[in-house]
Amino acid sequence: MSIGFESWESPVGRLYIAADETAVRALAFDANWSRIRASLGDVQEQGNALTRQTIAQLQEYFSATRQTFELPLHLQGTEFQRRTWQALQEIPYGETRSYAEQAASIGQSQAVRAIGHTNGLNPISIIVPCHRVIAKSGKLAGYVGGLAAKQYLLQLESRTPELRLL
């Protein structure tokens, strides 16, 4: 199965979307695209129906008309990574969780640092919403797209339009 990708200029910077005929494999920021691209194997720079559908849904998300994505996803990783990323998908739009809460949600309350590291390896940013995880203190903490992008995404989801501008 061949994997194609295309890039798209979003409000939070250039994003790379990779998909095969059956599932989205990656949605990456510039900062992690080379690592993720290497993990996918042979990837061709050409979009397909799923990359175009992903971009359409991202456009709706960024225009605040979409809260959930309806795309088939393929998350490749260890059992711990897949459970961590599944927990991210269970955080509702407009809400946040701490790294400790995410760790507890998968029954690994002592794995807070491992959760943070694994969130940073998330191959499908935004759709698998690692931006919704913040420090226990309520402050923003690490995000592969940068803290400004994380703040933008959280403000977009906060439903308070006056906060959307950075």
Catalytic site positions = 130
Residues 6+ apart with CB under 8 A from 16: 5, 6, 7, 26, 27, 28, 29, 30, 33, 36, 37
DSSP assignment of 109-146, as one string? TT-HHHHHHHHHT-SBTTTS-GGGEE-TTS-----TT-
Residues in the chain: 166
The C-alpha atoms of residue 56 and residue 86 are separated, in whole angstroms, by: 23
The C-alpha atoms of residue 89 and residue 113 are separated, in whole angstroms, by: 19
